[in-house]
Amino acid sequence: MARPKIALIGAGQIGGTLAHLAAIKELGDVVLFDIAEGTPQGKALDIAESGPAEGFDATLKGTNDYADIAGADVCIVTAGVPRKPGMSRDDLLGINLKVMKSVGEGIAKHAPNAFVICITNPLDAMVWALREFSGLPHEKVCGMAGVLDSARFRHFLSLEFDVSMRDVTAFVLGGHGDTMVPLARYSTVGGIPLPDLVQMGWTTQEKLDAIIQRTRDGGAEIVGLLKTGSAFYAPATSAIEMAEAYLKDQKRVLPCAAYVDGALGLNGMYVGVPTVIGAGGVERVIDIKMNRDEQAMFDKSVDAVKGLVDACKGIDQSLA
Ligand SMILES: NC(=O)C1=CN([C@@H]2O[C@H](COP(=O)(O)OP(=O)(O)OC[C@H]3O[C@@H](n4cnc5c(N)ncnc54)[C@H](O)[C@@H]3O)[C@@H](O)[C@H]2O)C=CC1
Ligand SMILES: O=C([O-])CC(=O)C(=O)O
């Protein structure tokens, strides 16, 4: 049976890391696309040359021609611009919206049956716009943010509790911005919810609040350290987890920016929610119940995403 084909649209920091991970994990043959001439070709060749030592079977091709993504099973989109210190993700909206238009058209023409994972920021608005421009089914287009934000939360919790990251679960929902919603009640260590761990004296509410804030600021913390761009190792790993769930029909329960129409009181919008990802794409949005405080935080985040979508419609009349 032929290997799956994975198209990576954008061959920058995340795109290159995605290609490396996809090859090492033998998820399929990789096509790296970028408008920058030489970059995707150079990265594809460099990673291919790591194959003999690593011992993977996958082909890697770099290209500036959308025709080369033809028939891709998965497209992961990182094309666009990252932020620098002092910027918010939302500042990228105008420039990256134009990129989503060309990428959406390219995918629609050459890989209309792909499962599409958008990473480009501001994430929730960009995945909405990419879906609009591509016209693909909603369940086949989603955005990566919740897996990353939850991974950051899990990492910080594992440090606080001095336990393996594998035994920490977390759910971060809402938009991928300052209003994101880390849900303590739905996050656990060894199956014990975080509020119970506070009561058991394993940590204090103050420390937990600080970890939640550090999670919200997780992207900015890395931007502040790197200075020239934003995080790429953990974002790439997170998107690969989603792609693998689709390709292997794993039916993973993962938070992602999905199209929600009916669940969680939402009518037809993209935002971070718990989902099930399998061979059907986003097969299910989990309609979790939130308490009053959680709902208030989620509503605020939903409003922030709606504001960004309205801004997209203001910039590009074809989206209105
Ligand atoms: N959703 C999330 O959780 C995260 C999102 N991001 C976002 O991911 C995006 C990519 O980040 P990096 O890879 O670090 O940036 P990067 O600058 O290293 O790579 C972006 C690549 O996109 C290419 N590009 C620009 N316009 C294009 C077009 N029209 N078609 C094809 N390629 C195009 C550039 O040539 C560049 O190689 C940024 O918008 C960043 O904010 C970053 C981290 C996490
Ligand atoms: O912070 C950024 O600009 C990149 C990003 O979305 C993240 O790392 O969470």
119: CA distance to ligand 1 center in Å? 8
What does the block give as tokens for 140?
């086949």
Same-domain check for residues 165 and 298: yes
pLDDT > 90? residue 57:
yes
Strands ordered across the beta sheet of 188-189:
168-169, 188-189, 192-193
Look at the chain and report how many structural domains it folds into.
2
pLDDT computed for residue 216 by the predictor: 98
The residues lining ligand 1, judged by C-beta closer than 6 Å to any ligand atom, are 9-15, 34-36, 39, 78-83, 92, 96, 99, 102-103, 119-121, 123, 144-145, 148, 176, 229-232, 235
Domain membership flag for residue 230:
yes
Question: What's phi and psi for 165, nearest 5 deg?
Answer: -60, -25
Same-domain check for residues 99 and 179: no
pTM for this prediction = 0.99
Question: Which of 133, 119, 127, 134 has the alpha carbon at shortest distance from 79?
Answer: 119
Same-domain check for residues 26 and 66: yes
ipTM above 0.95, yes or no: yes
**Percentage of residues of the chain with pLDDT beyond 90:** 100
Mean pLDDT computed over 208-226: 98
Ligand 2 atom with the smallest distance to the CA of 92 is 3
Q: Tally the C-alpha atoms within 13 A of residue 274's C-alpha that lie toward its C-beta.
A: 16
pLDDT > 90? residue 159:
yes
Q: At 278, which CATH number? A: 3.90.110.10
Same-domain check for residues 150 and 129: no
List, by residue number, the catalytic residues: 176
CA dist 221 and 81 (Å) reads 18
Final residue in a domain of this structure, among 144, 177, 201: 144
Same-domain check for residues 130 and 31: yes
232: CA distance to ligand 1 center in Å? 10
Say if ligand 2 is within 6 A of residue 17 CB. no
Q: At 109, which CATH number? A: 3.40.50.720
CB 259 within 8 A of CB 141: yes
Same-domain check for residues 270 and 284: yes
Full residue range of the structural domain in which residue 219 is found: 146-313
What's the one-letter identity of residue 59? Answer: T
Same-domain check for residues 161 and 275: yes
Same-domain check for residues 234 and 286: yes
Same-domain check for residues 136 and 179: no
pLDDT > 90? residue 1:
no
